[in-house]
Amino acid sequence: MKYFSFAEFSRSATAAEKGIDNTIPFAAKVNIERLVRLILDPVRIIWDAPLYVTSGYRCVRLNEEVCGAPRSYHMCYDEHAAADVTTGSREGNIELYNAMKSSSLPFLELICENGGAWLHVAI
Ligand SMILES: [Zn+2]
């Protein structure tokens, strides 16, 4: 992982506020490392500017707390992992979404959320 850290995948304002331990288990770290290696680091290189993870790993309790989908890949089960990322602007996010959509990156999910407020990407 060149451009991303586990700390930014584990950080959650909701977890902090509610006292939820959102420490990333080893199995989830393996999946996150794969998401970063195969998608996020290459995207960061193409984009050539900072990308920020606004929501990465979610333990089951945190996922429930933020009303995540019951099988959300943010919980990093099986081989999966997900991240919500932003370039810092809606325009940038839409541009990045279009660039990723026309790439051969191996994502399972790529969603431009709330009119470009952030991108959800999962492997
Ligand atoms: Zn998401």
Burial class (CB in 10 A: 0-12, 13-18, 19+), 38: middle
Which pair of structure tokens corresponds to residue 29?
A: 């770290």
Helix, strand, coil % in the chain, rounded to nearest 5: 45, 15, 40
Alpha-helix residue ranges (DSSP H) falling in the chain: 6-10, 13-18, 26-35, 41-47, 60-65, 90-101
Distance 86 CA to ligand 1 centre (A): 11
The total of structural domains in the chain comes to 1
Q: Is 1 inside any structural domain?
A: no
Q: Which domain holds residue 35?
A: 6-122
Distance 21 CA to ligand 1 centre (A): 19
Q: Is 110 inside any structural domain?
A: yes
Distance 48 CA to ligand 1 centre (A): 22
Distance 121 CA to ligand 1 centre (A): 7
Which CATH number do you get for residue 44? 3.30.1380.10
Distance 109 CA to ligand 1 centre (A): 9
Distance 84 CA to ligand 1 centre (A): 5
Global pTM reads: 0.96
pLDDT tens digit sequence for 8-53: 999 999 999 999 999 999 999 999 999 999 999 999 999 999 999 9
Distance 56 CA to ligand 1 centre (A): 8
**Which pLDDT belongs to residue 82?**
98
Asked whether 39 and 105 are in contact (CB, 8 A), the reply is yes
